[in-house]
Amino acid sequence: MSKLALYRKYRPRKFDEVLGQNHITEILKNAVNLGRISHAYLFSGPRGTGKTSVARILAKEAGCSDIDLIEIDAASSRGIDEIRTLREGVRFSPLQGDVKVYIIDEVHMLTKEAFNALLKTLEEPPKHAIFILATTELEKVPDTIISRCQNFSFHKIPENILREAMKVTAQKEGVKIDGETAGLIALFAEGSFRDAQGMLDQILTLGDSNKDKRITEKEAREFLSAPSREMVENIILSIIGKDTEKGLSVIHEVTEQNLNIKTFLKLILRDVRAMLLLR
């Protein structure tokens, strides 16, 4: 039997479980409580930051049943025919519950003709219909669509929030990871909760093979092809000491081991920032 991916297993089911997007979830919770739910929303922001999860939560809180929740992936269903089908179906009342909710993911992928057809529905939507559009490329969504939606911008999730979330998830899975390992995952994820969970999912296989169910920082660095702490410290010391030979030696070592240069620079900046804050 295949194992359920962590990002699906721990997908938030309530607004309070959504991490790093309080500026959005608080407004949506108030809208639900006050009965002021809009007919159209546009969620934009980087991938893996919770747009689809929040859309599903909002649909549930608005009184939408599973059978009346329609999700469309505009990356594969981007033509006018799909939107015409949507327009025909939206006229019918919900089968259960109070509303029908249409979640259109990657909405920026729709064709010009499909956008025009969608616009007509957004201008005069049935009372029982709610549209939630999601995109990672807001600049590709026509202004006419944007102006007819309530817009919410999702932020990259801060590293400290991702780090703590990874430690909690690992604990739930019965594997111990330290703060440095969780921090490396958060750094590599670049603000994406889904990416962080995907990396943790892979790293947890190391813990499954260890008797003590523990993953060390060294194991995590090797798995992620991240430079060692010593390399990072040596390059910083070479810069402080203006030791060109030592600095070039470290860079040569990093390239010889085929380590991620981008990650190396991030680790350097992280440690330099920590040093400055301690002064």
pLDDT for residue 272 = 87
pLDDT for residue 195 = 94
Contacts of 92 (CB under 8 A, 6+ apart): 100
| Measured torsion, CA atoms of residues 45, 12, 77, 138, in degrees rounded to the nearest 10 | -10
pLDDT for residue 2 = 59
CA 12 to chain centre: 12
Q: Which residue has 């400290």 as its token pair?
A: 160
Least Cα distance to 47 among 135, 162, 163 occurs for 135
Least Cα distance to 55 among 22, 85, 90, 25 occurs for 25
Average pLDDT along the chain, 279 residues, taken 10 residues at a time: 81 95 97 96 97 97 95 88 88 91 96 92 92 97 96 96 94 89 91 93 74 79 85 90 90 87 86 80
pTM for the full model? Answer: 0.88
pLDDT for residue 63 = 95
Q: Are 77 and 46 in contact (CB under 8 A)?
A: no
Domains and CATH numbers, the chain: 21-153 (3.40.50.300), 158-224 (1.10.8), 227-279 (no CATH)
pLDDT for residue 210 = 58
Q: Are 76 and 44 in contact (CB under 8 A)?
A: no
